[in-house]
Structure 1
């Protein structure tokens, strides 16, 4: 696809994850910055994402929302970047990408909001207790050099970003295995470029009050 990607984002959002992905791809893209509040809930943007939340992307006529879906889409739209395994080897890639976005994120948010699942309702929810959830992630990121096997992929971008934020704010316990994985995954020029762009935008945003 020759069309340029447009990223709708805010420097204090999961859009940072998508920017990292776009920097890994290495193709030109456009950024549309949106402020939290009325701008993000405007008719123009809710036509793109009815929830009025970022990130979202537009690629030609295609609009994609939800961070892991965006990552998976971009990996397929720009296969030359090598950010997804071959289709026959995508078991772990899909498994851990969506395990993190589903059960892990649900557990983290529930804990952060102080929600406690009653024991008699536990079978209804799609996640287990936080300790066990983190044990599962720890096993996944140490089984191979990268979570999907022997090569860096979009799943590593998502998981490393999630772990980095969650450990920084204390929503998951600090573990050496997490620190090692985060350090290895983020020691990349694309990550540094992406972070610099969002950090600069965040500073500019703060200076405006």
Structure 2
């Protein structure tokens, strides 16, 4: 038998080519696999914000179906029946009678909204002042403006579970209680 017919292994060139191909595949595929954690955070934030938005719409539909007009305390047809409405029928918070009967936004209301509309404890939430001391916080909330007719009156919920450092860009949701708008976007976390 000749020497060529008895050879049954790989040549050095074939082995080098296979190693190069595997290296190229690793370079192309590795970043995708390494980024799965961020993809999971993105999906979790977007799902939570979509659920909040659905809750706002369901609450307002309940208010409309009940024939309510103006400020309503403890809207019984939604959730545990403790959320009060704005004068336009969108969810505002709990025990809001002291806030000009649904016409004023206060910081605690934003946290109450999150808990009341989502009706679960899956997320750890904290206000903008105490969130650095709350372990494993997922959502930081605060508000802008007081009079709900002000275009800058909104609750903002910032998803910080993926990166809690100042200057990081995170998913956020702005909720405008006067007209029920919700806007999901990304913003930079600042002090």
Higher relative contact order (CA 8 A, sep 6+): 1
TM-score range (shorter-chain normalised) is under 0.3
TM-score with structure 1 length normalisation?
0.26
TM norm structure 2: 0.27
Higher helix share: 1
**Between structures 1 and 2, the one with greater strand share:** 2
Which of the pair has more CA radius of gyration? 2
